[in-house]
């Protein structure tokens, strides 16, 4: 990546992506950030990650060819009202907003190429799962640029835009489901007598190793679960409680509800 990247918005998504890009070797001088009101936040990013604060959207659009829109969905209209006159055919606009369709941005930007991206928080450590969908003006070169950018911070996959709300619910929100599981395991470990540090280390390593085994072997998670579940054993006893309490059904319902919420946000 030798393009200059401009971020509009300085929230958690922006920070995580910048951390991943910097870890991948992208020079901080090629990462510019502006925000409407959180000047102190941008200064914190500059101090921690050596990025370049942009005084406003005009300065950002002048410096960067890739513009990453990372504002709150409710701020989209105001942000695009300011940004649209500044965007030229040399720009590629990428949105990471939940529920915001490419066509919505194209309504502001006309023929400007627009890419819709849904990364997740592990992009900060270059382990994101990022889905990409493309607007009507995107060329093969734009696709290559977008994939190259997000490949730096993890795994990238192209999807039909109709699936992006489900992507948001599954992988975008997915880390929160895993963190909740991690919290519960830590709480359980504390109840049976472990110290907090030991409980955290055990829970984190268990989840990390479990995911690594599936990733590196390609094994089916159901097959692996059955392999560690001896009839009448401790794992079987634990899984019986989880099934009785509706663990699987609750997770499925959570993803479906998150998908609905992403659609609601997009229909505002």
Question: CB of 240 within 8 A of CB of 142?
Answer: no
Confidence of residue 74 (pLDDT cuts 50, 70, 90): confident
What are the backbone angles phi and psi of residue 224, rounded to the nearest 5°? -65, -40
Tell me the domain boundaries of the chain.
5-164, 174-266
Q: Is 246 left (phi over 0), alpha (psi -120 to 50) or beta?
A: left
Whole-structure pTM value: 0.90
Instruction: Spell out the CATH class of 5-164.
Output: alpha beta
Pairing of strands 114-118, 31-34: unpaired
**What is the percentage of the chain residues whose pLDDT exceeds 90?**
87
3-state helix, strand, coil in the chain (%, to 5): 60, 15, 25
Q: What is the pLDDT of residues 5-54, one digit of tens each?
A: 999 999 999 999 999 999 999 999 999 999 987 788 999 999 999 999 99
Arithmetic mean of pLDDT, 255-267: 89
Within 10 angstroms of residue 84's Cβ, the number of other Cβ atoms is 16
Please tell me the CATH code under which domain 174-266 is placed.
Answer: 1.10.3730.10
Higher-confidence residue: 1 or 208? 208
Supply the pLDDT for residue 243.
97
> Using the 8-state DSSP alphabet, how is residue 36 labeled?
S
pLDDT reading at 267 higher than 80 = no
Which helix or strand (DSSP H or E) is residue 192 part of? none
Q: Which of 33, 117, 112 is nearest to 80 (CA)?
A: 112
Q: What is the pLDDT of residues 102-148, one digit of tens each?
A: 999 999 998 899 999 999 999 999 999 999 999 999 999 999 999 99
Arithmetic mean of pLDDT, 162-183: 96
**Dihedral angle, C-alpha 35, 105, 137, 66, nearest 10 °:** 10
């Amino acid at each position: 990546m030798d393009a200059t990247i401009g971020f509009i918005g300085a929230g958690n998504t922006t920070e995580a992506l910048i951390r991943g890009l910097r870890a991948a070797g992208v020079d901080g001088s090629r990462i510019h950030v502006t925000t409407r009101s959180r000047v102190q936040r941008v200064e914190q990013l500059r101090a921690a990650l050596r990025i370049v604060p942009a005084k406003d959207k005009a300065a950002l659009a002048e410096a960067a060819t890739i513009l990453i829109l990372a504002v709150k969905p409710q701020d989209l209209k105001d942000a695009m009202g300011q940004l649209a006159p500044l965007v030229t055919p040399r720009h590629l606009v990428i949105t990471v907003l939940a529920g915001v369709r490419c066509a919505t941005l194209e309504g502001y930007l006309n023929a400007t190429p627009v890419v819709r991206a849904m990364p997740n928080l592990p992009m900060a450590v270059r382990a994101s799962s990022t889905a990409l969908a493309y607007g009507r003006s995107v060329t093969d070169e734009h696709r290559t640029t977008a994939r190259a950018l997000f490949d730096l911070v993890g795994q990238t996959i192209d999807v039909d835009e109709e699936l992006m709300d489900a992507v948001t619910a599954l992988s975008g929100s997915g880390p929160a489901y895993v963190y909740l599981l991690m919290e519960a395991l830590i709480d359980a470990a504390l109840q049976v007598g472990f110290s907090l540090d030991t409980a955290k280390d055990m829970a984190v390593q268990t989840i990390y190793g479990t995911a690594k085994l599936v990733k590196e072997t390609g094994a089916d998670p159901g097959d692996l679960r059955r392999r560690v579940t001896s009839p009448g054993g401790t794992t079987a006893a634990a899984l019986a409680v989880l099934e009785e309490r509706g663990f699987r059904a609750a997770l499925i319902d959570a993803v479906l509800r998150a998908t609905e919420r992403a659609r609601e946000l997009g229909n505002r």
